Structure 1
Amino acid sequence: MPGPGNVGERVRNLRLTRRLSQAQLAGHDLSDSYISLIESGKRTPTPTVLRMLAERLGCTPEYLAEGVEPEQRAHLEVRERHAHLALLDGDPVGAETAFEEVLARSDDPDLTSRARWGRARALEELGRTEAAIALFEELREQAERDPGRASWLPPVIALARCYHTVGDLGQAIALGERALARLQHFGLTVGQEYTEAGRILLLAYVDRSAPERAHALGRRMLTSDAAEGDQPSTHYRRASSRALEEGAVGDSLYFAEQALAVRGGAPIRAQALLNLAAARALLRGVTPFTAEVVTEPERAAAAEALDLLGGTSVLEGAEATESTIERARALVLVGEPEQAIASLEDFLDTGMALAAPVAGVPAPERGTDRAARVRKTVQARLVLARARIAQDDRTGALVVLNSAGGQLKDLPPSRPAAHIYRELGELFEAAGETDGAANAYRQALEAVGLRPSRPQAAACDLGLV
């Protein structure tokens, strides 16, 4: 455990334990009044004085300064790195426990900051997004107070992602736009930060029903400076130099570290996620039910989305599932519903285990995770129904839609659930089932806390259609 309190309190506690007076501790080199000022927290001892006091108190200067002996600090450093490895290996429960241990035992500002970041990421992975937001907000405030030690960008991008997850689109867009503007200011239009900030903005624009902004951003990002041929490390190094010239030391250090981390290779997964978000933006709003009513611009957008989705094969888990669903949606739009049906039926036949609880994850997280999985399964069924309608198989479409409606009952009320109910209503209408459509529209509005008498009209008023 770290020594109690601050430097002064540790000096006083050790002095009393050793049964020394302030004058005895001061010796011939210091004054007893100076010792009194140190113990009261009114003076901070220099490194030279710390070494002198540590020798007389029988401890190490590191203990007086940080409350942790060198061996303890080394142990905590290793524990913190192991926690990050556990997070990368898909064990957020173990990672969070380890980060909590480091935070409880360390007084070192840098180690504590890294552990807080890791714990916030673990909480985010566990679905405890509100708790993660609180930690990321603390890290953002810390970076704003001391820009010479830490970059403001990582916590802001993480906050944009978390606010999007909880449905606060206004905050997600505001933070994402600020992060993207800062990156562009430093000339950094490649790399993990740029693609992640852009991806979050694309999704938020789409969810905010702003497809024009999403399309414009997606095209700008997909034709960024990456086409120049330079390695990402070169771009990070340039950004680091520019930040240093402007006195943004925290950003400069962060970009330099990223240059070292990515040297020799591009962030493939980050680019795949950006491709997926851009494809979603292209496909949102293009939802005809038969191949005959697809316009040429819509067909071209769907074809472009298919090309983008071809670069998402490295994705796994929920991200791979989303890519499968969006690819099937694009296939329907380009007039290939048979391929869409084949891929979706294969996913639904082999993907039912996705709804099973996750071993080792506490009950609240299992519930959050299950809701996300149910949404993905329902979205797959809706695209499958859309493909059936494109084949003029309305009976088959209704079977799929009724199954999807039954699964939706497991979802808690939310705006994402409302969007799914709205699409369910549209598809019931397209299949000629007016009662099912009316019920779906009613449930869409109830999911956002409204009970209007004219469901479809009110859905338009809410921006759900």
Structure 2
Amino acid sequence: MPSQGTIGDRVRGLRLNRRMSQAQLAGPDLSDSYVSLIESGKRTPTPVVARLLAERLGCTTEFLLHGIEPRQRIDTELGLRHAELELQHGDPAIAADRFTEIVKAADEENAMLTAHARFGRARALEAQGRLGQAVEAFERLRREAAAHPERLADLPLTIALSRCYQRAGDRLRARDLASSALEQAERLSITQGEVAVDLAAALVEARGKQEGDSPELDYVKRVLDTADVPPVVDRSGEIHALWHASAAAAAGEDSALAVRLADDAIMAGRSTRLALQLARTAMHWARLATAPIDEAERLVAAASRAFAVLPATAREHSESLTVHARVRLRAGDPVRSAALAEAAVELSSDRLGTTSAEARLVLAIVALDRGEDATTHLHTAYELLDTLDRPVFGSDRQAARCWRELGDLYGRIEAKTQQAAAYRKALEAAGVRSAMAGVTVNATVNN
């Protein structure tokens, strides 16, 4: 076959290989000037004309339009699906490599497949916590979506960017993007499905705990009311069996069956992915101080049940128990609140992230409200927070919130030195350290 290039390059290359003139290729159905325009890239053949030209040039319509034979295209589609399975149910680092391989192998004529692979790679970077690189990738894709809406949908990209900026600590940018996505969703009346659920999660994550009614929260509530938080079923065995069967079919050169099996594996995981995303949305909703107690109780309890099913969501299960403990504090139930916080501490025995620290803060609040000594809980929370790695990109808003609350609690027991240290740590976690020239943070807590 001649060099792929553009559609015009392929038409011209195949015609010259067959020693045909433009008039001969045009035949009685087309004009030779029209063929000339196609070869120069000034016209794109319609599907009917493409089939006609493909017949006369002795190639497939697929090759003429896309630069690859059907087998090549289906292998690329299969690669995309296996990379997606790796992202959702395997190793995001491997998924990123596979998406990158597809991008390198594809050419300009296969812009749709390339765009999907680049979107997958950006999501894989986000899943690895490489937020700086993920943001750059999503921003490039969003610019491309504006120029080529036939290749990429802007709405999922905007939601993904909002999510990344939120996790990187740029809350204002996250809110702006989420609001922009909401405008698109409202215009299209999107309140169900993956896009709606992902948008609801991004919107509620970008809200402050004290915020009340707003169009953004109204949308979140509509999505939650429509879908609620369904039970999670662990279908990981089925998913991996289908994935393995797809790989075996591909090895046996049965690409069509391999694609079908990979699609079945992806669909088998869809309901669980949606349920977990709804659980995250419900958990963040329950964090809102303005959420009615009964509603917050129902939603966070459903979220906890969802996270309890899968080992991979153990950290979120612990987080949901802590949120539930805070809801019970608001309800004036310190006994139940302490029990939930203690369960969260036991579940998050790996001591990673802010989950254990936040549970300790709740236990400290309960102790202080009872007039008991909370020093041990406070110092443990300090040690847990102090072992966190500093974010490579942006700030750690959740850590900043915990440090600030820790400072408030140290203030309640009049531990001024520890209070000041916690507040400084809060500023540092929020990304303010670079603006604090000449200030040395004293991380020592005297017991």
1:84: how far off? 2.0
Deviations 1:205-252 (A, max 9, x none): 21xx752357x85466436694699xxxxxxxxxxxxxxxxxxxxxxx
Residue aligning to 1:243:
none
C-alpha separation in 1, matches of 2:12 and 2:174: 48
Structure 1: where are the runs of 5+ without partners? 230-260, 284-299, 356-372, 456-465
> For residues 111-122 of structure 1, what are the structure 2 equivalents within 5 Å?
111-122=113-124
Distance (whole Å) between structure 2 residues aligned to residue 225 and residue 336 of structure 1: 26
Task: Assess, with a 3 A threshold, how the Cα gap between structure 1 residues 79 and 388 changes in structure 2: closer, same or farther.
Answer: same
Equivalent runs, 1:351-362 vs 2, <5 Å:
351-353=348-350
| Alignment-derived partner of residue 314 in structure 1 | 306
Please state whether the residue corresponding to 1:311 is helix, strand or coil: helix
Change (3 A) 1:6 1:311: same
Q: Is the 8 A contact 2:139 2:161 kept in 1?
A: yes
Q: Partner of 2:42: helix, strand, or coil? A: coil
| Alpha carbons 1:189, 1:225 under 8 Å: kept | no
Q: Which residue of 1 aligns with 2:249?
A: none
Label 1:399 to 1:113 Cα distance change in 2 as closer, same or farther (>3 A): closer
- Partners of 2:385 and 2:279 lie apart in 1 by 31
The match for 1:440 is: 422
2:359 corresponds to: 380
For normalisation by structure 2, the TM-score amounts to: 0.71
Long gaps (5+) in structure 2: 229-266, 308-312, 441-447
Pairing of 1:246-261 with structure 2 (within 5 A): none
1:41 match: secondary structure: coil
Structure 2 SS opposite 1:205: coil
**Aligned pair in 2 of structure 1 residues 383, 147: CA closer, same or farther (>3 Å)?**
same
Q: Give 1:65-214 correspondences, 5 Å limit.
A: 65-106=65-106, 107-145=109-147, 151-206=153-208, 211-213=211-213
Q: Distance in 1 between matches of 2:4 and 2:54?
A: 16
Residues 300 and 324 of structure 2 are in contact (CA less than 8 Å); yes or no, is this contact kept in structure 1?
Answer: yes
Matched, 1:404 2:395: no
Quote the Cα distance in structure 2 between the aligned partners of 1:147 and 1:31: 32
CA offset at residue 327 of structure 1? 1.5
1:431 counterpart residue number: 413
Letter in 1 for 2:354: R
1:330 aligns with 2:327: yes
- Please tell me whether the aligned partners of residues 203 and 217 of structure 2 are also in contact (alpha carbons under 8 angstroms): no
CA spacing shift, 1:220–1:19, aligned 2, 3 Å: closer
Q: How far is the alpha carbon of 1:429 from its aligned partner? A: 1.3
**CA distance in structure 1 between the partners assigned to 2:201 and 2:357 by the alignment:** 23
Task: Please say if residues 2 and 68 of structure 1, whose CA atoms lie closer than 8 Å, have aligned partners that are also in contact.
Answer: no
> Which range moves more in the overlay, 149-158 or 75-84?
149-158
2: CA distance, partners of 1:219 / 1:19:
64
> Per-residue deviation at 1:281?
1.5
Does structure 2 conserve the Cα–Cα contact (< 8 Å) formed by 1:180 and 1:194?
no
Tell me if structure 2 keeps the 8 A contact 1:378–1:408. no
Alignment-derived partner of residue 393 in structure 1: 373
Residue by residue, what CA displacement relative to the aligned partner does 1:67-123 show, whole Å, maximum 9, x if unpaired? 101111111122222222222214322322332233333343433333333222222
Task: State the distance in 2 between where 1:48 and 1:228 align.
Answer: 44
**1:317-343 deviations in whole A, cap 9, x for unaligned?**
443232122112233343444444444
Q: Secondary structure at the match of 1:414?
A: coil
* Cα distance in 1 for residues equivalent to 2:376 and 2:139: 49
Describe the superposition over 1:153-196 as per-residue Cα deviations: whole angstroms up to 9, x where unpaired: 22222222222122222222122223223333444444443343
2: CA distance between counterparts of 1:115 and 1:348? 40
Aligned-residue CA RMSD (Å):
4.0
Aligned to 2:221: 222
* 1:7 and 2:7 matched: yes
CA distance in 1, matches of 2:221, 2:46: 53
Residue 272 of structure 1 is matched in structure 2 by: 279
Provide the rounded CA distance (Å) in 1 between the counterparts of 2:60 and 2:401: 61
CA contact (8 A) 1:188 1:194 kept: yes
The 3-state SS of whatever aligns with 2:59 is coil
State the 1:15 CA deviation. Answer: 5.2
Change (3 A) 1:100 1:395: closer
CA distance in structure 2 between the aligned counterparts of 1:203 and 1:43, rounded to whole angstroms: 47
Query: What's the secondary structure of 1:62's corresponding residue?
Result: helix
Whole-angstrom CA distance in 2 between matches of 1:379 and 1:87? 29
Identity value in percent: 36
Q: What is the number of residues matched between the two proteins? A: 385
